[in-house]
Structure 1
């Protein structure tokens, strides 16, 4: 029994020893929604925190990607204040994605993971292009969520209502290290 436990611990240590940490270099996360009858809302952030690692293949990529809701900005500062309030930013200032699995499709990758927003964790899937070249790993992809799925009400302004669906796109550039 002791040999089995030792073997499992040793295998786990070897597995983690092969993992390379990825250092976030540059990127952006964008959100898009619309105010019915008015205009588009496109907040974005470049202030991204990431803890990703990879073994020998892209499908071994694991970790988390986070942002602070207060780092999201659009072209309208007053609207941003409403956005922070609608996202319950004071109570839940972090939005994070925990990567669970990656599957190679024909010309892209299916990334599955768990998005935490408003204190709730929900499974999401994203289609992405992933380029592994010159010691860089670059992820470009998108997915959509519904605010109501995270117990958030789409904001209303007089007779205008924000669409429930938020389209999220990302460009993330990492150096293997």
Structure 2
């Protein structure tokens, strides 16, 4: 019985030390273009964090979730088309699971993980920084992806086609 109580105490202490991180503020931006027309720059300003971090940024692990319908641009009609293209009724969420953080010196890191979008999960890396600012952790990172890699056909309108590549930029503050 003593071993069970001791084990429970160790696990409880470890989970308290691990430090769950909750989304406080920030954004996840996407950038693509309509060939021959303009830029499309939708943004998520809401996210749900299921992240934890122990004593160093390389211990950062967990998942960041977003709801597709929280992805907005400067054009509501375009947003409605984007939700339809991404089949947000069937695939309402996108997530990135951080599996490993590789230090590149200082605050510079590679976030290695798995992106789940539109019913497809693929390995993906983000390059950037993770820093601690008091009781906050700040993530600033960038990556690129192709919509077609996730089974999403880039929209076409008459002679205009949306570029398949999407540039992603994350800037978020998490609190312990």
- TM-score, structure 2 length as denominator? 0.91
Q: 1:45 Cα deviation (Å)?
A: 1.4
Query: Could you tell me whether the CA contact under 8 Å between 2:22 and 2:48 is conserved in 1?
Result: no
Query: Could you tell me whether the CA contact under 8 Å between 2:57 and 2:131 is conserved in 1?
Result: no
Query: Could you tell me whether the CA contact under 8 Å between 2:155 and 2:162 is conserved in 1?
Result: yes
Q: 1:8 Cα deviation (Å)?
A: 8.8
> Structure 1 residues 151 and 133 mapped into 2: Cα distance closer, same or farther (>3 Å)?
same
Q: 1:13 Cα deviation (Å)?
A: 5.9
SS at 2:72 equivalent: coil
Alignment partner, residue 50 of structure 2: 51
Query: Could you tell me whether the CA contact under 8 Å between 2:68 and 2:83 is conserved in 1?
Result: yes
Alignment partner, residue 149 of structure 1: 149
What count of residue pairs does the alignment treat as equivalent?
A: 173
Q: 1:135 Cα deviation (Å)?
A: 1.6
Q: Distance in 1 between matches of 2:61 and 2:32?
A: 29
Deviations 1:124-152 (A, max 9, x none): 00001111122211001110100110111
Alignment partner, residue 109 of structure 2: 109
Alignment partner, residue 71 of structure 2: 72
> Structure 1 residues 115 and 8 mapped into 2: Cα distance closer, same or farther (>3 Å)?
farther
Does residue 126 of the first structure (1) align with residue 138 of the second (2)? no
Q: 1:25 Cα deviation (Å)?
A: 1.1
Unaligned runs of 5+ in 1: 1-5
Q: Which moved more, 1:158-167 or 1:11-20?
A: 11-20
Q: Which 4+ stretches in 1 moved above 2 angstroms?
A: 6-18
Alignment partner, residue 3 of structure 1: none
Deviations 1:13-52 (A, max 9, x none): 6543431111221111110000000000000011111111
Query: Could you tell me whether the CA contact under 8 Å between 2:28 and 2:168 is conserved in 1?
Result: yes
RMSD (Å), alpha carbons: 2.0
SS at 1:91 equivalent: coil
Unaligned runs of 5+ in 2: none
Q: Distance in 1 between matches of 2:31 and 2:142?
A: 11
- TM-score, structure 1 length as denominator? 0.90
